[in-house]
Structure 1
Amino acid sequence: MAKSLHAVMVPFPVQGGINPLMQLAHLLSERGFFITFVNTEWCHRRMLDAGGHALQQPAEGFRFLTIPDGLPAKHERYTDLITYLRALENLAPVLEQRLLVTLSEGIPPITCIIGESYMSCTYQLALNLRVPRVVFWTMCAALSISQFKAELLLSRGHIPVKLGEAKRAENLITCLPGNLPPLLPTDLISFYRAESASDALVKRFLYESQMQNKGDYVLVNTVEELEGREAVAALSINGCPAMAVGPLFLPNFLAHRDVVRSTSMFAEDESCLEWLDAQQPASVIYVSFGSTAVKSKQQLEEIALGLENSQRPFLWVLRKDIAQGEPGILPQGFLERIRDRGLIVRWAPQVKVLSHPSVRAFLTHSGWNSVMESFSFGIPMLGWPYFMDQFLNCRFVKDMWKIGMDFEGVDVDENKLVTREEVEKGVRRIMESEEARQRVFKLKEAAMKAVNPGGSSFLNLNKFVEEITQIAKSFAR
């Protein structure tokens, strides 16, 4: 297919930000777009080290562009987040220069810049290049609205979040658009949990909110049937279209495209799939806390003993760096005792795991990508949020959609020690809950319908292609 359109995709450079934008890139490529996918050099190196050979030999109509993020190679990007965000804000000039010098014969002129919502640099980049800026929300619509309207929440006294008063009924958040259910203060992005509005991260996220209100189109990685069309429409910028196009991974999965593997920062251990093949149907709990969460050595021991005492088969993703800089030492004799019904890997091909018939439940950090992957395969969740949007995701899974459970108290204290008894009880309950299982099957059907031809997300993505083309023409006049 001759490609006359050209989308420059700019993800937030973390695993959970790159994944959905790459999924979107493949769906747009199918619809006639040439794709320029932008990675920072630091992320690009990590992907290559993890086996991302597709980065060196991209598919036809794709190219990868790498740019420096301005930080030393050994800088702790995820722990020194404020410095990281400030560095990313200043990427527009270097990215503009790289784009201009790499445009050549055979590459269509740029149609639009599609930037993850926290990549505020894409606003200036789109202005300079005179093309539309598409704001892409990787989080659910409800959380995105709370961030989009952060200035309103600040003016109403909801930001910064006072955890000691979070459970009071008078502090429920009811001023947001989109026909949302009342939000708890603890539902807001975790970085708003600060002593004052002058906190550096609070100020940073308020600035990002201002920039998220500037653009020409909005795409949201969610499902209309899950959150409602009004919630998605509430993310519109000055009347511009806002469309739900998720779950973005699902049409690629159904088309047998292993998109994640090409951009994973972790080497996937596919041997776990053979282990799952040997387990009984719907018998395994999958345990993974995502790419950035950390746990204390004591907490890891409690998790290990809780899983052991549950007497349920489990597959546990235990990252090398999960134990707060300490070696992830497990209880003495643990591996020997669980060898017949447990498996531990450093990283797993999560979509393949969750779609496996042996998996019945998911103990998760409640990141939005994981939540969507889980309900798209009919897998109930036991939530254990860590930061960012995970607290709202976890609560909505439990209270709004009723497709999962959580641990008491972690919503107000992400460092609370969850005991082995609580882990054991939680695992048993989620594995035995027929109610959660029946409810999540209905969401699975809705997700499948949304991404298939004629479904809401499928049609919304087609509409985006038509409309962004017209918007781009108006910019070129």
Structure 2
Amino acid sequence: MSAAETAHVVAFAFPFGSHPTPLLHLVQRLAAAAPTVHFSYFNTKKSNHNVFSKANLHVYDNIKAYDVEDGLPEGHAFSGNPLEEIEFFIGATPENFRRRLDEIVEETGLKATCLLTDAFLSFSSEMAAEMGIPWVAVWTAGPTAVSIHSYTDLIHGRLGQTGHPENQDQTLDFLPGMAAIHASDLPQEVVHLDTPFSRLLHSMSRSLPRAAAVVLNSFDGIDPVVENDLSSKLRKVLNVGPFPLPSPMPPSDDQSGCLSWLSTQSAASVAYLSFGTMLTPPPHELVALADSLEEKQIPYLWSFRDNSKINLLQGFFERTSSRGKVVEWAPQLQVLAHSSVGVFVTHSGWNSVVESIVAGVPLICRPFFGDQMMNRRRVEDVWRIGVGVEGGIFTKSGMAGALNLVLFEEEGKKMRENIGGLRECALRAVAENGSSTQNFKSLVQIATSSHQD
């Protein structure tokens, strides 16, 4: 096959939070399924460094990674606002991707035949249309979140400024499958459309119906009403997850000895605590969380990355070292799969929720931003596989009550049964003839065909 005929799938990453890694995992799965297709992965230099320090890219001959400009002015001093870096990046798009892609096409002679991009980067819709190739949007969160974004205009029409206190308890029962969601659960990017980031997501909500397919790290049956509604509005919805399952469990990089330590603990007794890569609870909540673990004498494994706050808990870690372990990083998939883990204390990001479902471990949720509040509501009120922390923040008494409920009471046993049912649903989806397996085959066909339907 000549270079002109070679299928060339171009992936554009949104370089923040947990977004780049699921996109890369999807590219790797596609590259393994279509070894004669060339894949290019575009991301910022900083994010590429972070992602590829944990990925074995060298085993894929048909994937190449490229850096795009991040939009940061030379020598810029950050204010501490986490959205600042995102806004500089948004300001650089789409020209940074367009320019770099033109360079790579010139160098390799390989024209793009499909754009496979983070759904946030909705400018890809117009770029793909200009080139006469399909756009496949990858949504890294769950079906509830993408559905909520698709209804942004209707939500504003019905609730007005949902940020107003008098509207906080109102439910979204006027949307399919959303009766459990409250106005207070909505992401700020849906509530207020006055920032570059919120405008980016609003633009996305209007662009997704033009995508050849919208791919989710989810599985059929997790939210049937929402899934059916999405399918009625989008050209093709492909649940191809949960991402940990279609591939074998990766070999553990357990330099901190988490798994060997867990093997010394009783079955379903350990609280595993992790709040993702981007945030740490505020100091008073960290202290309350530690106090509750100490009072209840709960064995714990705590993945604690924020060195600026670890001194707050040094005394706690020393006093409880006989029944607890703190590490900078834990192999989360393997940790959750370990029989001694009884509860996952989490920010309720979508990847963490899905990984907990796959492992069959109930959750205690302390959401912070984005889709996390909606995920918590699904966990507690719809699926009944966990509980949100009382009042939305960690307090000593509230956390002690949540630990007691999940680990020792009858309700916790029911949560384990419920999450076991969802786990079975996920396992069926990734079986040989399961829905996620079939959807992935459809994705391979859409992404690697040289011509748009």
TM-score by length of 1: 0.84
1:240-255 matches, cutoff 5 A:
240-252=235-247, 255=248
Counterpart code for 1:317: S
Residues 6-47 of structure 1, C-alpha deviation per residue, up to 9 Å, x if partnerless? 322222212411222122122212321432222211212344
1:270-285 matches, cutoff 5 A:
270-285=256-271
Contact 1:221 1:248 (8 Å CA) reproduced? yes
- Counterpart position of 1:454: 433
1:228-243 matches, cutoff 5 A:
228=224, 230-235=225-230, 240-243=235-238
Residues 223-254 of structure 1, C-alpha deviation per residue, up to 9 Å, x if partnerless? 111112x52353359651112111122212xx
- Shift in alpha-carbon separation, 1:381–1:327, aligned structure 2, 3 A: closer
Q: Distance in 2 between matches of 1:439 and 1:284?
A: 20
**360-369 or 431-440: bigger deviation:** 431-440
State which of 187, 203, 209 in structure 2 corresponds to 1:207: 203
Give 1:159 shift: 4.6
Counterpart code for 1:463: S
- Shift in alpha-carbon separation, 1:52–1:404, aligned structure 2, 3 A: closer
- Shift in alpha-carbon separation, 1:11–1:234, aligned structure 2, 3 A: farther
- Shift in alpha-carbon separation, 1:200–1:256, aligned structure 2, 3 A: closer
State which of 370, 381, 402 in structure 2 corresponds to 1:426: 402
State which of 56, 73, 76 in structure 2 corresponds to 1:54: 56
Counterpart code for 2:240: V
Contact 2:45 2:69 (8 Å CA) reproduced? yes
Counterpart code for 1:274: S
Counterpart code for 2:359: F
Give 1:378 shift: 0.5
Asked if residue 216 in structure 1 is aligned to residue 216 in structure 2, the reply is no
Q: Distance in 2 between matches of 1:164 and 1:301?
A: 32
Counterpart code for 2:452: S
Counterpart code for 2:94: A
Contact 2:271 2:298 (8 Å CA) reproduced? yes
- Shift in alpha-carbon separation, 1:408–1:192, aligned structure 2, 3 A: farther
- Counterpart position of 2:172: 173
State which of 34, 44, 58 in structure 1 corresponds to 2:38: 34
Give 1:273 shift: 2.1
> How many residues align structurally?
444
- Shift in alpha-carbon separation, 1:434–1:120, aligned structure 2, 3 A: same
Residues 369-420 of structure 1, C-alpha deviation per residue, up to 9 Å, x if partnerless? 000000111011011101100000011011100100111221xxxxx4x322
Asked if residue 310 in structure 1 is aligned to residue 286 in structure 2, the reply is no
1:396-435 matches, cutoff 5 A:
396-410=378-392, 416=393, 418-432=394-408, 433-435=412-414
**119-128 or 293-302: bigger deviation:** 119-128
Residues 434-456 of structure 1, C-alpha deviation per residue, up to 9 Å, x if partnerless? 11011111111111111121111
Contact 2:159 2:167 (8 Å CA) reproduced? no
Q: Distance in 2 between matches of 1:407 and 1:75?
A: 36
Residues 125-174 of structure 1, C-alpha deviation per residue, up to 9 Å, x if partnerless? 3234332111211111112101122112122235543244312xxx3223
SS for the counterpart of 2:424 is helix
In the alignment, structure 1 segments of 5+ residues that lack a partner are 262-267, 411-415
1:79-228 matches, cutoff 5 A:
79-81=81-83, 84-85=86-87, 87-88=89-90, 90-103=92-105, 109-167=111-169, 171-177=170-176, 179-193=177-191, 198=194, 202-228=198-224
Contact 1:190 1:389 (8 Å CA) reproduced? no
- Shift in alpha-carbon separation, 1:123–1:247, aligned structure 2, 3 A: same
Q: Distance in 2 between matches of 1:347 and 1:26?
A: 23
- Counterpart position of 2:340: 358
SS for the counterpart of 1:243 is strand
What percentage of aligned pairs have identical amino acids?
Answer: 27
Counterpart code for 2:38: F
Q: Distance in 1 between matches of 2:80 and 2:452?
A: 39
What RMSD, in angstroms, separates the aligned Cα atoms of the two structures?
2.9
Residues 266-288 of structure 1, C-alpha deviation per residue, up to 9 Å, x if partnerless? xx854222211222222211001
Residues 299-322 of structure 1, C-alpha deviation per residue, up to 9 Å, x if partnerless? 21111111111211100111126x
Contact 2:240 2:440 (8 Å CA) reproduced? yes
SS for the counterpart of 2:11 is strand
Asked if residue 290 in structure 1 is aligned to residue 276 in structure 2, the reply is yes
Q: Distance in 1 between matches of 2:21 and 2:237?
A: 21
- Counterpart position of 1:264: none
SS for the counterpart of 2:370 is coil
Q: Distance in 2 between matches of 1:336 and 1:22?
A: 39
Q: Distance in 2 between matches of 1:97 and 1:201?
A: 22
- Shift in alpha-carbon separation, 1:327–1:407, aligned structure 2, 3 A: closer
- Counterpart position of 1:473: 451
Q: Distance in 2 between matches of 1:135 and 1:53?
A: 22
Contact 1:160 1:202 (8 Å CA) reproduced? no
Q: Distance in 2 between matches of 1:76 and 1:213?
A: 36
Q: Distance in 1 between matches of 2:309 and 2:303?
A: 15
Counterpart code for 2:220: E
- Shift in alpha-carbon separation, 1:208–1:93, aligned structure 2, 3 A: same
Q: Distance in 2 between matches of 1:176 and 1:398?
A: 19
Q: Distance in 1 between matches of 2:347 and 2:324?
A: 20
In the alignment, structure 2 segments of 5+ residues that lack a partner are none
**73-82 or 312-321: bigger deviation:** 73-82
Residues 347-387 of structure 1, C-alpha deviation per residue, up to 9 Å, x if partnerless? 21211211122212100100000000001110110111011
- Shift in alpha-carbon separation, 1:5–1:366, aligned structure 2, 3 A: same
- Shift in alpha-carbon separation, 1:445–1:270, aligned structure 2, 3 A: farther
